[in-house]
Amino acid sequence: MSKRRSIIEIPSLNAIDRTANISRRLAEALRTAIARGELRPGERLPSTRTLAASLRIARGTVVEAFDQLTAEGYLEARVGAGTRVAAALTEAAPPLHATPAVPPAEDAIDLPAPAARLISMARTLSPHPPVPFAIAVPASGIAPDDNWRRLGNRVRASKQAAPSGYHDPMGVMELRIAIADHVRRARAVQCEPEQVIITSGTQQGLYMAGRVMLSRDDPVWAEDPAYPGLTAVLDDLGVRTHRLPVDAQGMNVERGLELCPAARAAFVTPSHQYPIGMPLSMARRNALIAWADKNRAWIVEDDYDSELRYAGHPFPSMQGLRPSRVIYLGTFSKVLFPSLRLGYVIAPLPLAEAFAGARAILDRHSPISEQHVLAAYIREGYFEAHLRRIRGLYAERRAILLAALERALPQGCHVQPSDQGMHILLWLPQEADDVRLAANALSAGLAVRAISPMYAAQPARPGLMLGFGGFPPEQLQAAVSELARLLRVCIAQTAPGA
């Protein structure tokens, strides 16, 4: 120890809390002193006996702390030469000046470019609280229901859910079989269970599809407007996205052929365009398939809510028209509940193992017990019955919402017709600021999504998405009155001369 000062003059050592875990606290104080440069590499420490006496603690406690720091490489002990701060720490991190009491603000540290981008994605994708008009809030008392809980208890008490090692990234075979049966019947998907890869939802399916099919800078097509979770994935993958405008027939494929016929993939929501709601017309489906065939390109079909249809029959899936060119993505977020985090990819068989690789890299696989619960829920007929019930309930809530809006909407606002899913779209006058309106609505206890940020083309069309599935009639009606008030304020603010 240098003659400069006694070790206990070092503030962090002097101040150690002697009430509990003293050896841990002493080790911590010594680490801090070394990091701050108060103890230098090579500097000799007092003997354990001397230090214990100075600090008025048991010698065994000091021995324990020294042993710990020696194991960590902070100290080195040589017989006859006492204990020193490890000489190799010369190259250690620069001294720590002070431990910040609060984490530094974002702009006070040098954010790496990906971190800055991901922070913005976290904000765009942050979930809404479960207040009216949040989308994908399951109807309480219906989903998850008693059967779900009962099956959960049964599966969790069985061998299937016992703690075990890693499993197949493709997922539990019973669930893959149940999903293949369901989509063949309900969506005319052509597949075998070997083509089904369980995901943690479509968000992950979109990312995995990108990883499997695309390299950096590859050109792709996406709709305009589009699901922000998709555009975030495409940005993150570093591909070149050509946004194709959407009209009454859905994505304008002809525009894609003019802009970039050599695109490697097209990302579409053909059953229910997100966010506007029209289906992709049969003519456009055929054009998209002809393009994919000719260019050996891929179609990624995001079929996020087609089970929730309230009139007529849905178009069958695009996958069923060309199974060799379509990656089909399904999810249980809308028909069961989003916190389940289970969905699926149906891939052409030669690609299925690549999806397993993409999944293994991300997080290996989804929790096994939840997959068994869902497999039993589908296999034993509860899923079909649940679908029938929520279709009826959501159709009723949708009709109530539409009627209330019709009575209350100020001039210049109108509802976009669509008969599927868990949301409706409300167009606003072109001058309206939908982003500001959505922020004001949130302060007033309403969760609406603004449409204009989902457009690449400018000027974007303002509008709001209103979810209805999770809210009983009285709550929807009261929410519409409040929304109408906010709309009137918004329109008055944007009126000429306001």
Ligand X SMILES: Cc1ncc(COP(=O)(O)O)c(C=O)c1O
Token couple for 37: 């440069």
Binding segment toward ligand X, per CB under 6 A, in 39-47, 73-81, 199-207, 366-374: 199-207
Quick one: 145 or 302, whose CB is closer to ligand X? Answer: 302
Q: Would you put residue 75 in left (φ > 0), alpha (ψ -120 to 50) or beta?
A: beta
Q: Is 227 in the site for ligand X (CB under 6 A)?
A: yes
CA distances for 251 relative to 130, 131, 223, 224, 233, angstroms: 31, 32, 6, 8, 19
Q: Let me know how long the chain is.
A: 498
Smallest gap from residue 117 Cβ to ligand X (A): 20
- Residue nearest ligand X, Cβ-based: 201
Token couple for 450: 């603004």
Q: Is 273 in the site for ligand X (CB under 6 A)?
A: no
Which residues have CB under 8 Å from 346's CB, separation 6+? 180, 183, 189, 191, 195, 196, 197, 319, 327, 328, 329, 330
Q: Is 333 in the site for ligand X (CB under 6 A)?
A: yes
Binding segment toward ligand X, per CB under 6 A, in 2-10, 74-82, 196-204, 239-247: 196-204
Smallest gap from residue 261 Cβ to ligand X (A): 25
Query: What CA–CA distance (Å, rounded) separates 306 from 271?
Result: 6
Q: Is 371 in the site for ligand X (CB under 6 A)?
A: no
Hey, which residues between 64 and 103 contact ligand X (CB under 6 A)?
none
Quick one: 45 or 327, whose CB is closer to ligand X? Answer: 327
In this chain, which of 201, 256, 277, 469 binds ligand X, going by CB under 6 A?
Answer: 201
Quick one: 169 or 343, whose CB is closer to ligand X? Answer: 343
What are the E-state strand segments in 90-184? Answer: none
Residue 93 CB neighbours (<10 A): 7
Q: Is 274 in the site for ligand X (CB under 6 A)?
A: yes
Q: CA end-to-end span of the chain, whole Å?
A: 76
Token couple for 187: 């969506």
Smallest gap from residue 231 Cβ to ligand X (A): 11
Smallest gap from residue 106 Cβ to ligand X (A): 27
In this chain, which of 338, 429, 472, 473 binds ligand X, going by CB under 6 A?
Answer: 338
How many residues in the shown chain lie near ligand X by CB under 6 A?
Answer: 14
In this chain, which of 145, 302, 307, 434 binds ligand X, going by CB under 6 A?
Answer: 302
Hey, which residues between 129 and 148 contact ligand X (CB under 6 A)?
136
Query: What CA–CA distance (Å, rounded) separates 239 from 287?
Result: 23
Element (H, E) at 479: helix 473-494
Query: What CA–CA distance (Å, rounded) separates 221 from 219?
Result: 7
Quick one: 25 or 284, whose CB is closer to ligand X? Answer: 284
Smallest gap from residue 375 Cβ to ligand X (A): 18
Quick one: 38 or 305, whose CB is closer to ligand X? Answer: 305
For helices 146-156 and 368-379, the axis angle rounded to 10 degrees is 130
What one-character DSSP code corresponds to residue 409? Answer: P
Smallest gap from residue 338 Cβ to ligand X (A): 5
Residues forming the site for ligand X (CB under 6 A): 136, 201-203, 227, 229, 269, 274, 302, 304, 331, 333, 338, 343
